[in-house]
């Protein structure tokens, strides 16, 4: 597709269940980011993948959160034993490469709204 | 520490200029960004400035950077109803190639 896509767009789950969120980056983009956006707040960095390098997991809030990426394509963010505090919009972004500047502009997907009851 | 702060709301009259302000704490910032988020849509990069610049203009948008005060602003000239959105200030810190720190966003509303 032309842009970053995410699925599902909305997910409602019960506390304690596991959820998987999917991100399809723009084809050819080597860098992929996951962010969390709580209601009325800014984006909170979660994890970053760049090519074949080890991912930067420094933003993951707990060991209940994990993410994988298959090569330079699809990524899944998994939240185990969900808690109500996990309710947020989870945004994925991709860029041609890592680092700053216009050439590495991050293109964002529409997000997955997760509600934990 | 790493922190980016913005005021939460701004209301301007259509046709006036909007000025959205942002302060950041990390002096090792390399790039500073302004993103726009419209309802139900993902974030869109509006413009960015490298930390060795103090001003950047792009059509109706003017970005001013005061590195001494760690203050960034976005001016939108001739504000239109289509400019209604949440505007996020963000910084990329030098010590991490990956991490961008976002502010909480400023909701811009336009009065007729």
Question: pLDDT tens for residues B49-98?
Answer: 988 889 999 999 999 999 999 999 999 999 999 999 999 999 887 666 56
Look over chain B and give the mean of its residue pLDDT values, rounded to a whole number: 89
DSSP B67: T
Q: CB of A109 within 8 Å of any CB in chain B?
A: yes
Look over chain A and give the mean of its residue pLDDT values, rounded to a whole number: 90
Beta bridge partners of A13: A116
In which element (H, E) is residue A22 found? strand A19-24
Number of CB pairs < 8 Å for A and B? 64
pLDDT given at position A102: 58
Residue B41 pLDDT grade (very low, low, confident, very high; cuts 50, 70, 90): confident
Higher pLDDT, A39 or B109: B109
> Using an 8 Å Cβ cutoff, are B58 and B47 in contact?
yes
Q: CB of A93 within 8 Å of any CB in chain B?
A: yes
Residue A70 buriedness (CB in 10 A; 0-12 / 13-18 / 19+): exposed
Q: Which residue of A has its CA nearest to B107?
A: A40
Rounded Cα–Cα distance for residues B79 and B111 (Å): 10
pLDDT given at position A5: 94
Cα–Cα nearest to B87, from A42, A34, A45, A3: A42
pLDDT given at position B1: 57
pLDDT in tens, A45-94: 899 998 888 898 988 999 999 999 988 889 999 999 999 999 999 999 99
> Using an 8 Å Cβ cutoff, are A42 and A109 in contact?
no
**Candidates B47, B96, B98, partner chain A, best to mutate (most A CBs within 10 A):** B98
pLDDT in tens, A1-37: 579 999 999 999 999 999 999 999 999 899 999 999 9
Higher pLDDT, A112 or B97: A112
pLDDT given at position A100: 60
> Using an 8 Å Cβ cutoff, are A24 and A1 in contact?
yes
* Average pLDDT estimate for B90-111: 82
Q: Which residue of A has its CA nearest to B93?
A: A100
Which residues in chain A are contacts of B105 at CB distance < 8 A?
41-42
């Amino acid at each position: 597709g032309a842009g970053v896509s995410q699925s599902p767009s909305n997910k409602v789950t019960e506390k304690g269940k596991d959820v998987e969120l999917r991100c399809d980056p723009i084809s050819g983009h080597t860098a992929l980011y996951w962010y969390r956006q709580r209601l009325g707040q800014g984006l909170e960095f979660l994890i970053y993948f760049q090519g074949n390098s080890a991912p930067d997991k420094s933003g993951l809030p707990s060991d209940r959160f994990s993410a994988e990426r298959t090569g330079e394509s699809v990524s899944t963010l998994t939240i185990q034993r969900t808690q109500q505090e996990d309710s947020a919009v989870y945004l994925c972004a991709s860029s041609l490469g890592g680092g700053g500047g216009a050439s590495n502009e991050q293109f964002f997907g529409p997000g997955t709204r997760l509600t934990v009851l | 520490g790493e922190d980016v702060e913005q005021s939460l709301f701004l209301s301007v009259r259509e046709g006036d200029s909007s000025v959205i302000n942002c302060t950041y704490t990390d002096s090792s910032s390399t790039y500073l960004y302004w993103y726009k988020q419209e309802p139900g849509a993902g974030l869109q990069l509006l413009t960015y400035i490298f930390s060795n610049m103090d001003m950047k203009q792009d059509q109706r948008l003017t970005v001013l950077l005061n590195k001494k005060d760690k203050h960034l602003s976005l001016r939108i000239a001739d504000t239109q109803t289509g400019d209604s959105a949440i505007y996020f200030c963000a910084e990329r810190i030098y010590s991490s190639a990956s991490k961008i720190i976002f502010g909480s966003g400023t909701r811009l509303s336009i009065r007729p």
